[in-house]
Structure 1
Amino acid sequence: MSENPDPAPVVRRVLAAKALRCLADGFVSLLLPVYLLQLGFGPVQVGLVATGTLLGSGVLTLAVGLQSWRFNFRTWLLASAALMAATGIGFAVVTDFWPLLLIAIVGTLNPSAGDVSVFLPLEQALLAQVVEHRRRTAQMARYSLVGTLAAAVGSLAAALPTLAAGRLGMSETAALQGMFVLYALLALAAGAVYRGLPAAPVADAPAPRGSLQAARKRVYLLAALFSLDAFGGGFVVQSLVALWLYQRFDLAIATAGAIFFWTGVLTAMSYLVAARIADRFGLLNTMVFSHLPSSVCLLLIPFMDTIGPVLVLLFIRSALSQMDVPTRSSYVMSIVPPAERAAAASVTAVPRSLAAAASPMLAGYLLGISPFGWAFIAGGVAKIVYDLLLLGTFRNVRPPEEEATITRKAS
């Protein structure tokens, strides 16, 4: 058996590519509804495009995860970066609704503040392969932290089209199209980073299989529960929250960008806290008991008549709602055999696209008929039900390292 190489270079490249991708997602998630409205489309059509992106990402993620054993991670990531670049160019040059919807379905566009894409399970499985299990949760937190901070900076970049239109004399539509070109360039930069990954980062890693076997029942049950959470989250993707703020409070896109920058910073900081809490109270408890109060905040938002209390609730939610992201990733990776991690990551990540695909369309419809914010109510209720079901179903399923800690304390 050959000696495994230092995992640090692999981790650095994954984090660098993650930052580039999330930087692009940060401004696109805010500019997408503005661009579509600029082209003459309504809230329902904006919701349809958001649904198309999530639906397409889900199908692609599942297909890649189940077939990941055919090629190495580097090949899959390079192909995904090429698709991301093509998506940006497509949105920059196409202005008709149905072709745009088609590009949204087959491409990598992300209307959410979180990372919802084919890249996610590939990168998570790669990190789980090269990082020791005792450092896995902390590394997943770092992975999420980098992506969220980059997305927060990207939110600030959403103000660039307004500046370009005012100072360079460009039309607003042309300035927005330029941002999709920037999205494509960032994809190419991420591809250049992926190109430096080794074909086989761990010498003695077990060969991935084509499908789930030992962990099939457990992973499918998790996927079903995650799908409920994703369905609730689809009602409040960042693009549609920005649209609601614009409709309800006439909020400028530059102001929205600043707001989502700070929500992103709060979310990023929560990842570091989540890793420490998980070490003390366990992964599942951290997932559930940080998520529940954030869902209550969603329920309260529509009842606020002024922007101030809305922002307070958004900030509280941002500080809590994503603490389950690194812990969930670590939990899934720790309760399945190493050879099934790529498939498990895909099957449990797909609900963040597939199950969430219907709700943005419904949220767009609700925004079209009422400015109250019914989408927040629907999302909050679905997420609370998910938390309770997850806790009740998996309270006795612990990662091996947590079981070992409990055994030591008991003895």
Structure 2
Amino acid sequence: MNLFSIFSKFLSSIGADKVWHSSLGLKLLILLRMIRLLGYGGTTLVLALYLHSLGFDDYDVGLFMTLTLIGDLLISFGLTYIGDGMGFRRTAAMGGALMCGSGVAFAFLENYWLLLLASIVGVINPSANEIDPFKAIEESAVARLSTSEDCNLMFAWWSMLGMLGTAASNLLTGLLVDFMYDSGFDVEDAHRVVFVGYAGIGLVKVLLCLFLSSEVEIKPHGKEEEEGGGAPEINCQHSTATTPESEPLLGDNSSHSTYSATTINSETSSTHAKTPSSPPDRRHMFTPASFTFVWKLSLAMLFDFIGSGLAQISWMVYFFAREYDVAEGTLGSATFVAGIISSVLNLVSWPLSKAIGQVPTMVLCHTVNSVSLLMVSVPASKYIALALFVFRIVTREIDNAPRQAFISAAVSAEERTSAMGVVNIVKTVGSCAGMYATGVFAGLDKFWLAFVVAGCLKLVYNILIAAFFWRNTR
């Protein structure tokens, strides 16, 4: 077997051929994710440091990040209701335009409240890819263009290339800032260049939206039958017929059983399970079955997101700069390497979830990451602490694709954007609480305690996910 055959077999094993043969709309959605996180990664690396260089103390920075997330919460809440009504293309283009305006504002303004306003409307993200009010509608579009067999795979590539964007941004930002320092620029000017780049990336996102076709938009119920000769819309929605083709979506193999969408529905409402494509009553956001699923998931994820808020990348970068005097260039290079490895490991979730099930994959990968976060502030050596920090970044996204596919399959297509939106709202609320608490810990000179609490809260999430959604092996 020659080298080309080995390489082709490897690409096929990670699903590259399926992505290559997917629709243009799906490819552009994955590219838009990468472009967006290319912008988020750079601003995340310098945000806390930039605000400190403008004269704001730890409490002010913590409050700034918290209020930013509260603003994003309001945007997320609105998009949960009207995102599909506005249309994906219009919403995505609006997001790119707001990124552009916000980057320009950060490059030229120094007033705390004006910067806060720009941060909210333009999503100057303190947590890279973890918080984004436009994420839910994008996830819904990815699920809508995916089949039940490749939904997990498409989310894995969506996550992987997004992480590559973040990693590349971290590296380039760190190198750029160090270069400007060495060239005689002061801290404020070096960081302002990063925000100018953020504005440019927003403009690129707007231009890419022009190439999206109507296939990314959700169709009114019943319209797909009129346009497609009666064929239903193909997406991540789990079929009630337990065929071999639909069964692997939730990893419910003969030897491994997970909490599938069918199980969720049968516990609370047989009607929803029998008619997964029928829309919910528009007076309510969810059917009773989906509501039960969403509140259980939201309760578990609240603990996870509070933990994420306590250990946002912006805070962790500031922690290493303050406690260990690690330069931005070193941190940027470290997060770049970690991001590259993490992006590739995202693809591991696809075969792993097929082998052991989606919920076991989620719990296993997330537990490993939680333990590493718990230990970040323990070592007295900065090299060990930095290694744990890198490991935490490497493993933090592996559970993402199985979780997204799991949520997508557990609710109907008409409910999917709302379900993703509710998760995003819970994420923002939890992150607000956690990020504010980290500012308090830092102000009390107990910075290290934030990461210990974060790791413990994330372990609680794993326990709840297992308790709610993990059935016994048959």
So what's the TM-score if we normalise by structure 1? 0.90
> Is 1:322 matched with 2:397?
yes
Q: What is aligned with 1:189?
A: 204
Question: How many Å separate the matches in 2 of 1:46 and 1:377?
Answer: 21
- 1:311-350 aligned at under 5 Å gives the runs 311-350=386-425
Whether 1:275 aligns to 2:350 is yes
Hey, what's the Cα distance between the residues in 1 that align with 2:326 and 2:155? 34
The Cα of 1:288 is off from its aligned counterpart by 0.7
User: Contact between 1:271 and 1:323, CA under 8 Å: does it hold in 2?
Assistant: yes
The 5 A counterparts of 1:183-332 are 183-201=198-216, 204=224, 205=233, 212-214=285-287, 215-332=290-407
Q: Percent same amino acid at aligned positions?
A: 25
1:374 aligns with 2:389: no
Counterpart of 2:182 in structure 1 is: 166
Deviations 1:347-373 (A, max 9, x none): 112222122112112102212222550
2:434 pairs with 347, 354, 359, which one?
359
Distance in 1 separating the partners of 2:386 and 2:129: 19
Offset at 1:155? Answer: 0.4
Contact between 2:278 and 2:412, CA under 8 Å: does it hold in 1? no
CA contact (8 A) 2:84 2:137 kept: no
Partner Cα separation in structure 1 for residue 311 and residue 119 of structure 2? 19
Which residue in 1 is equivalent to 2:462?
Answer: 387
1:88·1:180 contact (CA, 8 Å) conserved in 2? yes
Aligned partner of residue 133 in structure 1, secondary structure: coil
Q: Aligned pair 1:13/2:28, yes or no?
A: yes
Tell me which residue corresponds to 1:32. Answer: 47
User: In the aligned structure 1, how far is the partner of 2:427 from the partner of 2:170?
Assistant: 21
How many aligned residue pairs are there?
393
8 Å contact 1:298–1:313 — kept in the other structure? yes
Query: How far does the alpha carbon of each residue in 1:248-269 deviate from its partner, in whole angstroms, 9 at most, with x for none?
Result: 1011111111111122122212
* Residue identity in the other structure for 1:73: F
In structure 2, the CA distance between the partners of 1:334 and 1:82, relative to structure 1 (3 Å rule), is same
Letter in 1 for 2:462: D
Q: Tell me the secondary structure at the aligned position of residue 105 of structure 1.
A: helix
Q: Which moved more, 1:127-136 or 1:298-307?
A: 298-307
Q: Give a deviation string over 1:281-307, Cα, whole Å, max 9, x none.
A: 111111111111221122222220011
Distance 1:245 1:113 in 2: 17
Partner of 2:114: 99
Matched, 1:82 2:97: yes
Deviation, 1:58, is 2.2
Deviates more, 1:136-145 or 1:362-371: 362-371
User: What are the Cα deviations for residues 230-261 of structure 1, in whole angstroms up to 9, with x where unaligned?
Assistant: 11110111000001101110111111111111
Query: Is the 8 Å Cα contact of residues 298 and 317 (structure 1) preserved in structure 2?
Result: yes
Runs of 4+ in 1 over 4 A off after TM superposition: 205-211
Aligned to 1:400: none
Contact 2:33 / 2:162 at 8 angstroms: preserved in 1? yes
- C-alpha separation between the residues in 1 aligned to 2:77 and 2:357? 28
Q: Considering only CA atoms, is the larger Rg found in Structure 1 or Structure 2?
A: 2
C-alpha contact (below 8 Å) 1:220/1:348 kept by paired residues = no
Residue pair 1:219, 1:344 contacting (<8 A) in 2 also: yes
The letter for the 1-side match of 2:423 is T
In 2, distance between residues paired with 1:300 and 1:185? 38
The Cα of 1:195 is off from its aligned counterpart by 1.9
Q: For 1:135 and 1:14, how far apart are their aligned partners in 2?
A: 15
For residue 250 of structure 1, give the secondary structure of its aligned residue in structure 2.
coil
**Contact 1:88/1:184 (8 A) holds in 2:** yes
What amino acid is aligned across from residue 148 of structure 1 in structure 2?
M
The secondary structure found in structure 2 opposite 1:134 is coil
Cα distance between partner residues in 1 of 2:155 and 2:164: 14
| Residue in structure 1 matched with residue 134 of structure 2 by the alignment | 119
> Aligned partners of 1:239 and 1:219: how far apart in 2?
29
* 49, 52, 59: which one aligns with 2:74: 59
Where does the alignment leave 5 or more consecutive residues of structure 2 unmatched? Answer: 1-20, 225-232, 234-276
Alpha-carbon deviations, 1:356-398, whole Å to 9, x = none? 112112102212222550110110111011110111012249x
SS at match of 1:323: coil
Change in CA separation of 1:308 and 1:170 when aligned onto 2, cut-off 3 Å: closer
Deviation digits for residues 63-119 of structure 1 (CA, Å, limit 9, x no counterpart): 102212322211111112112222212212220212222332333111114342122
Question: Residue type matched to 1:281 in 2?
Answer: I
The question of 1:156 aligning with 2:231 is answered no
Q: 1:329-351: per-residue Cα shift (whole Å, max 9, x none)?
A: 11100110111111111111222
CA distance in 2, matches of 1:32, 1:363: 15
1:267·1:319 contact (CA, 8 Å) conserved in 2? yes
TM-align CA RMSD: 2.1
The answer on whether the counterparts of 1:80 and 1:118 sit within 8 Å (CA) in structure 2 is no
